[in-house]
Chain A
Amino acid sequence: MNDKAAHTHAEGHAHAILRWSDDSAHDIEETTRYPLMTEAIRQILVEKGIISADAVRHLIEQMDARSDVTGGKIVARAWVDPAFKERLLANTKEAIAELGIPEVDATHLIVVENTETVHNVVVCTLCSCYPRMVLGMPPEWYKSKAYRSRVVREPRAVLKAFGTELADNVTVRVHDSNADMRYLVLPMRPLGTEGWSEDALAHIVTRDCMVGVTVPRVPAKAHAVE
């Protein structure tokens, strides 16, 4: 997010003044001002011995290692342990710390719960803010202008395009992750998972379920090929 935050939020009038804020720069394969500055600073810091190339590599490796597996574990625990779920919703950081997942900083994470009457879906209209600490890197569609502009305005049509149709009595609640908080959707546990292990449950909690564009489903055993 940080690389984009500085130059994607000004639109409209602002374009005349801040030419570098043109969002289309992200769609062009060329080395633009900020990547170039970043690379230059990195090289100088390494040359001066202030940081090592290995330290930079290690941090990138750590960042890339984050994935939706973490989010799945959190959701599965919430499904099997109602007291944990209450703590997760009320005090997210402390609850996630209980799980002993190293290096997950959930300080600014808000968990929003799907119920029979509320369906949550997350977007960042200004750039691509995403709960990377629990879901890893965002998918391309999450960063697309089409998703970002449409899901706030016609969320039900967008959800339908993802194969998710919601009844009119369900409130669709869009969360625009536009500032400092990040959002994780806690989906409903699907029927047919009674007695499942926490690990088995975690496997059906996919990234898209936790962004809120779909819901967890039980794989159809009947279709298994002999």
Chain B
Amino acid sequence: MSPAVVSPRRFAPGDRVTVTYTHPPGHRRIPYYIRGKSGLVERYCGAFPNPEELAYGFDGLPARHLYRVRFQQTEIWPTYDGPAHDTLDLEVYEHWLSPAEEDAS
């Protein structure tokens, strides 16, 4: 899809990942509500020029790996008013993801 991907993929479907909790200024494709939340990689979407660079007139290369991650609604919103099996899927670029730390709970 994109010619200039530098690195092999770090994640595969089923991996539990955490979205980085950070608030840099500028054009970001990661909604605030999902920062710091953890979910499971649902699928790999391909590599795309980085929109955080494209937004400022750069070429966005090297392309970045994009994943769809599935989150439990009750983990996103502590006050979620619905069944525990409801989910939300969204796309996250690899540089916003890290392996989720195993928590005891």
Contacts and interface: CB of A to CB of B under 8 A. Distances in A.
Given A6-B55, A18-B26, A155-B86, A178 B91 contact: yes
Interface string A150-163: 00111111000000
B91 A12 contact: no
Given A152-B88, A153-B77, A155-B86, A179 B66 contact: yes
Contacts of B73: 155, 172, 174
A9 B28 contact: yes
Interface in B56-105: 66, 68, 73, 76-77, 80-83, 85-93
Interface string B16-38: 00000001011111111110000
A125 interface: yes
Given A179-B51, A179-B93, A171 B27 contact: no
Contacts of B82: 154-156, 168, 172
A174 B26 CA distance: 26
Contacts of B89: 173-176
A169 B85 CA distance: 9
B38 to A, nearest CB: 16
Contact of A180 (B25, B48, B76, B83): B48
Contact of B51 (A5, A125, A155, A172): A5
B12 interface: no
Interface residues of A, number: 32
Contacts of B85: 171
Given A11-B32, A156-B82, A181 B26 contact: no
Interface residues of B, number: 34
A48 interface: no
A179 B86 contact: no
B32 A12 contact: yes
A126 B31 CA distance: 7
B80 to A, nearest CB: 8
Nearest to B27: A9
B25 A10 contact: yes
Interface string B33-56: 110000000000110100100010
Interface of B: 23, 25-34, 45-46, 48, 51, 55, 66, 68, 73, 76-77, 80-83, 85-93
Interface of A: 5-6, 9-14, 17-18, 110, 125-126, 152-157, 168-169, 171-181
